[in-house]
Amino acid sequence: MRKLLLLICSLCSCSIMAASISIGPVDAAGSRFCVLENQFLRAEFSTLGGRLVSLKDKRSGQELTRADASGSSGSFKDQFPPMKYDFTKVQYLARIVNDNGKTVALELQSPGMLGEFQFLQITRVLTLQEGQSKLLCDLSIANQKESMAPTVINYWQHNFFGVPGEDNNFLLPLPSGVHCAVPTAQSNSHGSSFFTQPVRGWLAMLGVSGNGVVILPEYKRFELAFSWYCKGSSPLDTLEWRLIPEEVPDGASLNSSFELGLVTGLATINGAGPAGCGEVRLSPDGSVAQLHLRGFRPAAVQVKVLLDGREVAVQDSSLQPDRKSEL
């Protein structure tokens, strides 16, 4: 009997750890809702615009986006400048392309379009693995052969991310250091919310509670990022980024990828990558530094301390999604 109970407990533990995926039925508005989930996060997508309409960090219980019935809300919205929102208004096709219990993947593909974008087709494959607090998105934008001409693709992703009801800092590494500020109406009017010189491949939105998200675009294609103040009409400001314009021949595709990592328990972010992110905390006199790390996936890391370019200390550590490492 004891062995049976242990086996049942083991099976329950495995089911909690596993990644799962589902696609719901068509609702009255013609949309379907798709859910990817593991022990750390739950992400729900609507086929209307292929939008991320709910993102919950299960460690903190915090919802990190906002959505309503309109295609203008939510995150992971496919757009093109200056203000072309055609893809947010159509029903994407959804299908499960991987579901083995450890890795699940959802494909969202735009339908045939009319007008200016009639020859473009956008495909996103969203992958979630067990034991990770991040989503991987493989992005493909096809200039279909029927266009019979090259076209310039200038991809723009629009998001609402952060913690509703509190101030959220927009973070982006720049030549002068990591920009960290809460968007304001003044930053909108002065155009100071646009940053065209990212020096690393990440941007973030982090609430004062220490909860938020990090986006990791492909750096070689990462053109600019900005956050638009929306608090007058929305509980969250935007977190937006664009790719460098790229000419794509007919019959070819622009292929890129980005990742979305969930953050909890950090006061700020000084660096980020595919395995995790971290902050540096200095004592008031600057003589003591503490490093706080949060993993998006389990990983062994080696921390090196440099003084005037010379290595003075080395320490092994690890990144874990379920706890913060402090050095």
The string of pLDDT tens digits covering residues 249-281 is 999 999 999 999 999 999 999 999 999 999 999
The torsion angle over the Cα atoms of residues 263, 267, 270 and 271, rounded to 10 degrees, is -10
Residue 8 in this model has a pLDDT that exceeds 50: no
Please tell me whether residues 244 and 311 are part of one structural domain.
no
The stretch 19-44 carries a mean pLDDT of 98
Q: Is the pLDDT of residue 164 over 80?
A: yes
Q: Is the pLDDT of residue 16 over 70?
A: no
* CATH number of the domain encompassing residue 142: 2.70.98.10
Are the beta carbons of 219 and 244 closer than 8 angstroms?
no
216 and 306 part of one domain: no
Residue 12, judged by CB atoms within 10 A of its CB (0-12, 13-18, 19+), counts as: exposed
Cβ-proximal residues to 91 (8 Å cutoff; 6+ apart), any chain: 30, 31, 47, 48, 111
Residues 140 and 226 occupy one common structural domain: yes
Q: How confident is the model at residue 10 (pLDDT cuts 50, 70, 90)?
A: very low
pLDDT tier at 294, thresholds 50, 70, 90: very high
Cβ neighbours around 247 below 10 Å, total: 11
Residue 18 burial (10 A CB sphere; 0-12, 13-18, 19+): middle
283 lies in which domain range? 276-326
pTM of the model as a whole: 0.92
Contact 35, 21 (CB under 8 A): yes
Residues 91 and 152 in one domain: yes
Q: How confident is residue 303, by pLDDT bands cut at 50, 70 and 90?
A: confident
For the stretch 91-127, pLDDT in tens is 999 999 999 989 999 999 999 999 999 999 999 999 9
CA-based diameter of the chain, in Å? 71
Contact residues for 55 (Cβ-Cβ < 8 A; gap 6+): 41, 42, 43, 44, 63, 64, 65, 75, 161, 213, 262
Q: State which amino acid sits at residue 68.
A: D
Mean pLDDT of the chain: 92
- Percentage of the chain beyond pLDDT 90 is 81
Question: In terms of domains, do 122 and 162 share one?
Answer: yes
Sheet containing 271-273, strands listed edge to edge, beginning at the edge strand earlier in sequence: 271-273, 276-282, 289-295, 324-326
Please give the Cα distance from 29 to 317 (Å, whole number).
50
Domain boundary among 272, 297, 315: 272
End-to-end CA distance of the chain: 45
Claim to verify: residue 66 and residue 182 sit in the same structural domain: yes
* Same-domain pairing of 322 and 173: no
Q: Average pLDDT for residues 154-169, to the nearest whole number? A: 96
Residue 285 or residue 80, greater confidence? 80
pLDDT recorded at residue 139 = 99
Residues 28 and 149 in one domain: yes
List % helix, strand, coil for the chain (3-state, nearest 5).
10, 50, 40
Segment 161-189 shows an average pLDDT of 92
With cut-offs at 50, 70 and 90, classify the pLDDT of residue 191. Answer: low
| Tokens linked to 275 | 């395995």
Could you tell me what percent of the chain has a pLDDT over 70?
93
* Distance in angstroms (rounded) separating the CA atoms of residues 281 and 265: 13
Q: What is the mean pLDDT of residues 189-218?
A: 92
Kindly state whether residues 222 and 268 are assigned to the same domain. Answer: yes
Same domain, yes or no: 137 and 280: no
The per-residue pLDDT for 12 is 42
Of the pLDDT bands very low, low, confident and very high (cuts 50, 70, 90), residue 157 is very high
Domain end, chosen from 248, 272, 296, is at: 272
